[in-house]
Amino acid sequence: MQNAVSGLKSRLEYPFEGTRIEGKTMLVGGWAFMPDGEELKVNVYIDGKPSGSCKWGAARYDVFKEFGSESAYESGFFGNIKVGNLDKGTHEVEVRVLCNGAEVSVGKTKIVQPAWYTLKRKPAGEYQFKYLENAMLPIGHVADSAKRSGARMFNAFMDMCDLPKKSDILDVGCGMGRFSLPFIRYVGEEGSYAGLELMPPSVKYLEDNFVTRFPNFTVKRVEVFNDLYNPDCNVKASEYVFPFENDSFDMVFLQSVFTHMVTQDVTNYLRQMHRVLRPGGLCMITYFLIDEHSKRMISEKKTNRSFSFKHDHFWSDTEEIIEIAIAYDAEWLKATYEEIGFEIESIHKGTWRGETGTTGQDVVVARKKR
């Protein structure tokens, strides 16, 4: 989209039209830049009312590649906008950019507040969710697209490891089951699949559509604090204990989970995975890894993220909302795996680095030492 204000170019990418709200916050993002490199301010309006702002200046190699302008490279914007108090129904989201002293609209979209649940605090400080309606069923091409991409990525992951049939699988951060069906079909009736998921609507969907269909399928809700997805919970991810016995699984799988978690949380989850894995069990996790290769690609502006903000053992893509995207120091990660008791078998580079590959993020395949 090109605006009338001195050649401003921009695009609102999400939320998508018709996005259903899943919690108290919503991620807004896209890109915008001026040819002269003017620094921009990005504001968000819901139903015409000021509702928050986005951090502008994230690396967008795809935009840079399309326009060939240096000012296009750091043109991305992201913002975590509060939406928990919206009434049930459809609401208009508009993003405006302040440039040349004027506020210009860069895009509008519609979101839906379906009233997923009411939230009641228990005396012990826990939360109880009461579902009012089941609005999470995937529809039309969205469902078909998710199935196709899940199957394609599942095949790519399986090419990276040697997972026996009849295995017991734990999928941490399973979402609405993108990989659930491929996994459950792969392991067969003599294997099993267990999912751990943070979002209540996703857990409800899996219970209604998978648990009732497959006797060897279970799903449990993760009750931990997350600044983006579960801001009201008091349990820290660094203290969370997986609700499974020791030596319960042959494989633990995480896709795009540690890319949103800080150091102490990742370390605890790795220890929990080691505990619930059987000796020799597989651990397959996706990351953004910072090594000499990715550093060079970032410096050459060939990656789709800049990871400009350094923290302990990781870099974040934005400063205000760290968990939007996190990249870990590869050497620290290798040492942590060794300390906990994992042996890394292989590391596969993702396409986020600006090169060809079969997965978007880097993949680390490891085994629990016998």
Q: According to the model, what pLDDT value does residue 70 have?
A: 85
Q: Sketch the domain layout of the chain as residue ranges.
A: 9-115, 140-368
- Residues 40-74 as b/e (b if ≥16 CB within 10 A, e otherwise) read bebbbbbeeeebbbbbbbbbbbebbeebebebbbb
Query: Does residue 175 register a pLDDT over 90?
Result: no
Q: Which residue has the tokens 């915008």?
A: 32
Q: Calculate helix-pair angle for 330-340, 263-276, nearest 10 degrees.
A: 40
Which pLDDT band holds residue 229 (cuts at 50, 70, 90)?
low
Confidence at 324, pLDDT banded by 50, 70, 90: confident
**Eight-state DSSP code of residue 246:** T
Out of 72-81, 140-149, 151-160, pick the least confident.
140-149
pLDDT of residue 105: 92
Sign of the CA dihedral running 145, 146, 147, 152: positive
The pLDDT value given to residue 362: 95
Average pLDDT over residues 347-354: 92
Q: What is the pTM of this model?
A: 0.68
More confident residue, 280 or 199: 280
pLDDT at residue 6, rounded to an integer:
64
Spatial CB neighbours of 50, under 8 Å, sequence gap ≥ 6: 43, 44
Give the span between the Cα atoms of 272 and 257, in whole angstroms. 14
CA dist 165 and 144 (Å) reads 26
Homologous superfamily in CATH for domain 9-115: Immunoglobulins (2.60.40.10)
d(CA 369, CA 34): 53
pLDDT of residue 283: 96
pLDDT at residue 309, as a whole number:
92
Output the pLDDT for position 133. 30
Summarised one tens digit per residue, pLDDT across range 117-149 is 333 333 333 333 332 233 333 333 334 555 566
pLDDT of the residue at 144: 53
- Spatial neighbors of 333 by CB under 8 A, at least 6 apart, are 287, 289, 313, 364
* Per-residue confidence (pLDDT) for residue 148, from 0 to 100: 62
pLDDT at 154 > cutoff 70? yes
- DSSP helix/strand/coil, 283: strand
Measured between alpha carbons, how far is 177 from 206 in angstroms, rounded to an integer?
Answer: 7
**Arch. (CATH architecture) of 140-368:** 3-Layer(aba) Sandwich (3.40)
* Span 210-222, average pLDDT: 92
When pLDDT is cut at 50, 70 and 90, the band that residue 113 belongs to is: confident
pLDDT digits 0-9 by tens, 97-109: 998 788 999 999 9
Picking from 193-202, 245-254, 273-282, which range would have the lowest pLDDT averaged per residue?
193-202
| Parallel, antiparallel or unpaired: strands 102-113 and 89-99 | antiparallel
% residues pLDDT > 70 (the chain): 87
Question: Does 356 or 44 have the greater pLDDT score?
Answer: 44
pLDDT for position 227: 62
Distance CA 165, CA 186 (A): 7
| Pick from 115, 146, 148: nearest CA to 132 | 115
Mean pLDDT, range 258-284, rounded to an integer: 96
Is the pLDDT confidence value at 360 over 70?
yes
Confidence of residue 176 (pLDDT cuts 50, 70, 90): confident
